[in-house]
Chains A and B, each alone.
Chain A
Amino acid sequence: MNGVEQALIGGVDGGTAILIPALGELIGERSGVVNLGTEGCMLAGALAAFDAGTTTGSAWVGVLVGAAAGASFGLLHAWMTVIRRADQLASGLVVWFLALGVTSVFGVSYINKSVVPLPTLAVPGLSRIPWAGPILFKHDALVYLGYLLVALVWVVLYRTRIGLTLRATGERPEVVTATGGHPVRIQILAVTLGAALAGIGGAQLSVGYVDNWFNDMTSGYGFVAVAVVLFAAWRPAMVLLGAYLFGVALATASVVQAHGVAINQYLLDALPYLVTLTALVAVARRGSRQAPEGLRRALTHSV
């Protein structure tokens, strides 16, 4: 296995931890609510999954508990922003800070513990495709969940009535009200569901990819997920691209190091963030024009 393959395999693993939260964030943003607390929901999901995974011995229970933990922080964000109409960006950061504090306090007892991770499942047949097989089809099940979610979110968003209502809520909530819908309920549901997906993304880190817990282990991935949604201009397929781009940049850093190339580790660590920033900037102008109407107000603070 050469370095490129290693970077791509790692990119799919690490990219999944961005992809699932970013899809969740996309759902929330399509309803008109941005959640910088995605970072916090991931942290909560990561710790809760690790906790449940070590206690029950089943990483799968961990994933479910992680989703619930993410959702509960999402509910807090939904209460603040949708019901109390607090500033979305500030509320998200408060949610993150709360989750950072809670996970640092309760995570102390899990540092240096080990968990039985999610098993690697090679997809029969597909994983034998030369070169691409092991890169795409030899991972834990959450990676495949990520593939499925991209398709599912696309279908629901563009081909179902629920998706239409969701998009309408983000663009023109008054139209939803006029047609007998409940924008407030839809936003609360969208934010909470998005946060649950962020929790699963956190779980992918702690019981799927890194198989460990340490303080602040998401190190900004949740913020990257929000950036990826902006980069993707709210389109699921582009979210997939953006998330894997970050994942590959992340994996490249560690592969380069493993091959003993004399570049400072911390310069390499900055690479994924710079890649994300560059990608975001490259499409920013076109992307911001495509923002859901309600979201644009929240992002630019203009009335």
Chain B
Amino acid sequence: MTLTSDRTETETPAENPPETTPPAAGGRVLGLVGGTIGLRRLGVALGVYLACLAVFALVVISKGADPLGVANSMVHSAFLGTGSIQQLLLRSVPIVLAALAVAIPARAGLVNVGGEGQLIVGAVAATGVGVAVGHAVPGPLSWLLMALAGAAAGGLWAGISGILRTSLGANEAVTTLLLNFVANDLMLYLIYQPWKDPNSSGQPQSRPLAAQAQLPYILGHWLNLAMIVTGVAAVGALLLLKRTGWGFGLRVVGGNPEGGRRAGLPVNRLLLSSMVVGGAFAGLGGMLNLAGTEFQLRPDITLTFGYVAFLASWLGRHDPVKVVAASILFSAIALGGNGLQLGYGLDGSVVDILLGLIVVAPLVLAKNRRKAI
């Protein structure tokens, strides 16, 4: 067992709820020790974040740019320009959903690094359906069909890794990673050959969705339907995890699979279903990104969103509400990188460094770290 004093303030899903009433005998002493450690941890957290910012500033300076100007530019392109907030929310759609695809299996202790591939197959399936029926059927019906196809494809793709894990014990982090590359090559094959838009010049891409199959803006042209669906899906994920027996089962299995097995829980079915449901969220994200923003497949359509989402889920410690918040924050940072190429001659991927650094802190400060050797 870990020391009581070593698990004071942050709650982790995998563990028992924090002790509200410490054992009577050493209660006060333990509380005191807890408090001291809490302060120390706060200090460490501040130190880690400051170190992260310093490293990022160093990178920026070493490329000959002014760090304050860069910070200003990032805030400006993410929050302040005309339509920025709208852009931000629309851009965060695939990241939020792919992050939930990480968070849901993580509840059961699985590491889904396949958000990228699941976004891709979701977008691919949606394109297949959307291009085929988009002209023929009314908009809402094609949206529904595309969403179902995207979610099914994402769930299936993640399910492959789920089955490999439950039936053969193949590590899901490695198989989901490998499948990302397969998914990307599959998409490239489709847009370079069978699905290639004959009318496009330059970079190959698929035929665009018919106008009626594209997700519309509603409420005074401000909210895109993709944002609303994402919001509903996020609430759905929250309810699934916190209010259903299935969600509870995932937590039990994630905390102690052997215990879950002994308590009669269908452990393998829970593990597999968590991957499939997670993958379906990401697949839906790929569909919404396609039907709400992109309208046609092109190379780099996901732009490492799946990996950004992975980091966001760890920043939010796989808690649905925090994960959504972290995803929007990360979308803002990713968006903030857009102006840097023009304004400061910095490659846009400089923000990847910032994203990675931000996640270092929760990782090294997490409560459910492995036990000491």
A contact residues vs B (CB 8 Å cutoff): 36, 79-80, 84-91, 93-95, 97-98, 100-102, 104-106, 108, 173-174, 177, 183-184, 187, 215, 219-220, 223-224, 226-227, 230, 264-267, 269-270, 273-274, 276-277, 280-281, 284-285, 287-289, 297-303
Contacts and interface: CB of A to CB of B under 8 A. Distances in A.
A284 B175 CA distance: 11
Contact of A183 (B182, B366, B373): B373
B17 to A, nearest CB: 17
Nearest to B354: A101
B173 interface: yes
A171 B198 CA distance: 59
B186 A270 contact: yes
Given A89-B111, A94-B356, A270-B186, A297 B175 contact: no
B181 A94 contact: no
Contacts of B200: none
A296 to B, nearest CB: 10
B63 interface: yes
B61 interface: no
Given A284-B164, A302-B256, A98 B193 contact: no
Contacts of B63: 105-106
Nearest to A224: B178
Interface in B275-332: 304, 307, 310-311, 314
B11 interface: no
Interface string B167-191: 0111101110111111001101100
Contacts of B192: 264-266
9 smallest beta-carbon distances between A and B, as pairs? A101-B352, A101-B353, A270-B185, A84-B364, A104-B349, A284-B170, A98-B356, A85-B369, A86-B363
B181 A270 contact: yes
A270 B307 contact: no
Nearest to A104: B349
A93 B307 contact: yes
A95 B113 CA distance: 14
B258 interface: yes
Contacts of B263: none
Contacts of B353: 98, 101-102, 105
B37 interface: no
B373 A184 contact: yes
A86 B360 CA distance: 9
B357 interface: yes
B59 interface: yes
B154 interface: no
Interface residues of B, number: 57
A97 B178 contact: no
A100 B310 contact: no
Contact of A97 (B179, B256, B307): B307
Nearest to B360: A94
Contacts of B188: 266, 269
Given A226-B174, A300-B109, A97 B311 contact: yes
B350 interface: yes
Contact of B189 (A80, A98, A223, A264): A264
Nearest to B14: A301
Contact of B171 (A102, A174, A230, A270): A230
Interface centre among A85, A177, A219 (most CB of B within 10 A): A85
A223 B304 CA distance: 16
27 contacts: A36-B177, A85-B372, A87-B370, A88-B370, A90-B310, A94-B314, A100-B352, A101-B351, A105-B63, A106-B63, A174-B373, A187-B373, A220-B177, A230-B170, A264-B192, A265-B192, A267-B189, A269-B185, A270-B185, A277-B179, A280-B170, A280-B175, A288-B169, A299-B173, A301-B109, A301-B111, A302-B256
B30 interface: no
A267 B182 CA distance: 9
A95 B360 CA distance: 9
Given A97-B356, A173-B373, A270-B189, 20 more contacts: A87-B366, A88-B370, A89-B111, A90-B359, A93-B307, A94-B356, A94-B359, A97-B311, A98-B353, A102-B59, A220-B178, A220-B181, A223-B178, A267-B189, A270-B181, A270-B185, A276-B178, A284-B169, A288-B169, A288-B170
A88 to B, nearest CB: 8
A243 to B, nearest CB: 15
B150 interface: no
A219 B170 contact: no
A170 to B, nearest CB: 11
Contacts of B256: 302-303
Contacts of B96: none
